[in-house]
């Protein structure tokens, strides 16, 4: 036991990192991946996020750098109370230094507040609400992958510019759906389009035929789906049945992930256009990552959420290394100060409000005949440059932004 300790100490000393390590609380950097492990977001985040975080720790070479990093995870069941309880317990009793991922905007907003109260760090990949870098922004939080504003802006602008100037919204009746609908509507109007109608459905609706019929009757060119997960896939699947696309209307998926396309099958999903910030088949680096990732995640290829978890964890560890401390506010500040560089999102920056800046991509789902190999699903139709992909800094109403 003592010999092992001495060896470990020597190893640390030889790397020249020893005095500073005292700054790492209890000697271990502990990362908690908190997400939905069992329900509607389990495939797009879930275990895959845990795998991504672990891969980042390995690729960072934490062990070789004398940094002890541990990854734990839990299931928040999409309940804000379960999520907050786990977060408190992690921070108070289990010495977790940073919480990662957290799908479901309601839960993420709760964790955002708790992290701030406890002085820790929070990196968001799954949650969509742009409030996290707007009125709820915090010096302890970074919003990595995407947000409602980026989706609305990317998809809305592109669709209107390519002639889809009349819209009908099918919106999930909760905060996220309303926010998405509001943001897209603003983009559509700004670009000279018109909104002909909207209908709000309860979360987790099985049957969309009634709403699709209303959308059909509106004669709008574009049916915007301001919902997520099973709601989106069911709407698209039934849309095919009711001949929506054949009748000349098209769907704009406002939040669609790779795993949703996989679940739908290309036959039903073809032609669907939406915004992503990462696709696994973009270049050699992303393909290499996807291959390693899929091997460890039941062959499910990485979504942009998984990519965000990987890149976020990597950048976090770099900041911890540079700072030789895992103090929440200091690390987040360091992360904002350092430019980001990772194999998945390339070079980028993090703004004062916590918004990670990188390009976004307008993608279109391939026809079955165009798909050459498993998970070959997207064509990239346009790249939205980093500086245009996200809400301008001064429009979010974040208190951290100096006027």
Give 265 or 271: the residue with its C-beta nearer to another protein: 265
Distance CA 86, CA 32 (A): 10
**In this complex, which beta carbon is closest to another protein, that of residue 141 or of residue 259?**
259
Q: How far is the CB of 109 from another protein (least distance, A)?
A: 6
Q: Quick one: 174 or 393, whose CB is closer to another protein?
A: 174
What is the C-alpha to C-alpha distance for residues 296 and 50, in angstroms, rounded to an integer? 10
> Least Å distance between CB 223 and another protein?
14
Based on CB atoms, which residue is closest to another protein, 68 or 200? 200
Of 228 and 335, which CB lies nearer to another protein in the complex structure?
A: 228
Q: Whole-number minimum distance, CB 264 to another protein, in Å? A: 6
Pick the closer one to another protein by CB: 81 or 370.
Answer: 81
CB of 384 to another protein, least distance (A): 26
Question: Which helix (DSSP H) or strand (DSSP E) does residue 187 occupy?
Answer: helix 175-190
Calculate the CA dihedral of residues 263, 265, 268, 273 and round it to 10 degrees: 80
CB 336 within 8 A of CB 316: no
Q: 300: exposed, middle or buried (C-beta count within 10 Å: 0-12, 13-18, 19+)? A: buried
**Nearest distance in Å: CB 298, another protein:** 8
* Tokens describing residue 292: 């390693």
For the CA atoms of the chain, what is the radius of gyration? 22
Q: Which is nearer to another protein, 109 or 159 (CB)?
A: 109
Q: Where are the alpha helices (DSSP H) in 191-341?
A: 209-218, 229-241, 258-264, 266-269, 284-296, 304-323, 328-337
Q: How far is the CB of 234 from another protein (least distance, A)?
A: 6
User: Are 343 and 250 within 8 A, CB to CB?
Assistant: no
Region of 397 please: left (phi>0), alpha (psi -120 to 50) or beta.
Answer: left
Helix (H) or strand (E) holding 11: helix 2-14
Burial class (CB in 10 A: 0-12, 13-18, 19+), 403: exposed
């Amino acid at each position: 036991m003592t010999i092992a300790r001495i060896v470990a100490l020597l190893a640390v000393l030889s790397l020249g990192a020893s005095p500073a390590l005292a700054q790492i609380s209890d000697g271990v950097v502990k990362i908690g991946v908190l997400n939905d492990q069992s329900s509607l977001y389990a495939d797009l985040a879930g275990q895959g996020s845990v795998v991504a975080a672990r891969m980042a720790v390995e690729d960072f070479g934490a062990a070789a750098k004398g940094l002890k990093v541990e990854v734990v995870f839990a299931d928040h069941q999409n309940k804000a109370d379960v999520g907050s309880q786990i977060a408190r317990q992690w921070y108070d009793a289990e010495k977790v230094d940073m919480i990662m991922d957290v799908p479901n905007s309601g839960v993420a907003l709760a964790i955002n507040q708790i992290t701030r109260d406890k002085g820790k760090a929070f990196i968001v990949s799954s949650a969509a609400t742009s409030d996290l870098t707007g009125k709820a922004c915090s010096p302890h939080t970074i919003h990595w992958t995407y947000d409602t504003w980026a989706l609305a802006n990317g998809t809305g602008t592109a669709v209107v510019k390519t002639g889809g100037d009349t819209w009908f919204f099918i919106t999930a009746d909760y905060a996220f759906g309303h926010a998405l609908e509001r943001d897209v509507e603003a983009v559509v109007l700004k670009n000279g389009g018109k909104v002909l109608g909207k209908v709000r459905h309860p979360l987790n609706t099985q049957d969309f035929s009634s709403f699709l019929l209303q959308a059909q009757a509106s004669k709008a060119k574009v049916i915007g789906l301001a919902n997520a997960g099973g709601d989106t896939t069911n709407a698209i699947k039934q849309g095919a049945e009711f001949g929506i696309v054949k009748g000349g209307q098209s769907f704009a998926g406002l939040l669609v992930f790779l795993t949703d396309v996989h679940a739908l099958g290309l036959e039903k999903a073809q032609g669907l256009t939406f915004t992503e910030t990462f696709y696994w088949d973009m270049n050699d680096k992303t393909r290499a990552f996807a291959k390693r990732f899929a091997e460890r995640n039941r062959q499910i290829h990485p979504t942009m959420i998984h990519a965000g978890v990987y890149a976020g964890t990597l950048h976090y560890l770099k900041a911890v290394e540079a700072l030789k401390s895992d103090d929440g506010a200091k690390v987040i500040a360091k992360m904002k100060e350092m430019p980001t560089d990772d194999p998945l999102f390339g070079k980028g920056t993090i703004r004062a409000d916590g918004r990670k800046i990188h390009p976004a991509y307008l993608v279109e789902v391939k026809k079955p005949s165009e798909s050459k190999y498993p998970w070959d699903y997207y064509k990239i139709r346009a790249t939205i440059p980093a500086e245009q992909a996200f809400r301008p800094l001064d429009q979010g109403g974040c208190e951290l932004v100096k006027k």
